Amino acid sequence: MDSEWIPPDVDGQRPSVARVYDFLLGGRHNFASDRDLATGLLRIEPQARELAFANRAFLGRAVAAIAAAGVDQFVDLGSGIPTQGNVHEVAQRVNPGARVVYVDNDDVAVAHSRSILVGNDRATVIQADMRRPAEILAHPELTRLVDLSRPVAFLLVAALHLVKEEEDPAGIVATLRSAAAPGSHLVISHLTHETAPGKTAAIAKLYDRATSPAVPRSHAEILALFDGWDMLEPGLVYVPEWRPHEGETDPEPERFLVLGGVARTG
């Protein structure tokens, strides 16, 4: 296998949440340690791949809806290892002028994003920690592409459940809210323990050895992360229920274990 995508000094021993997710989505940017954790995950939740795809599909529908509403700046925090249907592809399909800033702290995710964005002068990637949002908002790469005096969409998709309570996930959103001009949007998807608490507790335990923890939260706790934003229809729902394409409704959406919603500033 070619190894051009492997950045120097990358830690391949500790499972990386970015590379595990890449493996679930059928990517090849992962190591044995990641596949081992993914195998454990699939043992706990045999539908884990389907969950990952449903989450990606939610991300795509949310970005397309926000771009169609006229927002042309996106900041994707915890953006992952790009697979198909990347935010810049979806947004620039609706509006070729849309600008996208990807943010991730994973070496492989950042290196791969950099390589696929070569030649795209309206999308970039920043290696940074989403737990320090003020630094991200002030980053010269962000301010080069994003004008925070205009509406922006902040995406925290399958991201905040990687942040422990003591690391203040609500504070991250509050910092973004305070920088958001009127008409800005917030997208969150998040693992919940509402449907299958035993499964999500086992997943959390498994992720103790990964680069980030997994912290499932209740519907009420995830909804509270949207404080200060106006929730858009249909509210905080299981990801397949968020504005599904015609013919794509799922009879058992709660089996997806991930809630998602989109909100807007007034």
* Site residues (vs ligand SAM, CB under 6 A): 17-18, 21, 55-56, 59, 78-80, 104-106, 109, 129-131, 157-159, 162, 212
* C-beta of residue 192 within 8 angstroms of C-beta of residue 200: yes
Closest approach, Cβ 149 to ligand SAM, in A, equals 25
Residue 109 or 215 having the CB closest to ligand SAM: 109
Residue 90 or 109 having the CB closest to ligand SAM: 109
Which amino acid, 234?
A: P
Closest approach, Cβ 246 to ligand SAM, in A, equals 23
Residue 150 or 164 having the CB closest to ligand SAM: 164
Residue spans of beta strands (DSSP E) within the chain: 73-77, 99-104, 123-127, 153-157, 185-191, 230-231, 237-238, 258-264
Angle between helices 48-68 and 32-44 (to 10 degrees): 100
d(C-alpha 133, C-alpha 231), whole Å = 22
Residue 72 or 107 having the CB closest to ligand SAM: 107
* C-beta of residue 49 within 8 angstroms of C-beta of residue 24: yes
Closest approach, Cβ 17 to ligand SAM, in A, equals 5
Residue 223 or 258 having the CB closest to ligand SAM: 258
d(C-alpha 54, C-alpha 34), whole Å = 21
Which residues have C-beta within 8 Å of that of residue 37, sequence separation ≥ 6?
A: 15, 20, 206, 207, 209, 210
Closest approach, Cβ 182 to ligand SAM, in A, equals 25
Question: E strand or H helix at 201, and its extent?
Answer: helix 197-206
Closest approach, Cβ 224 to ligand SAM, in A, equals 20
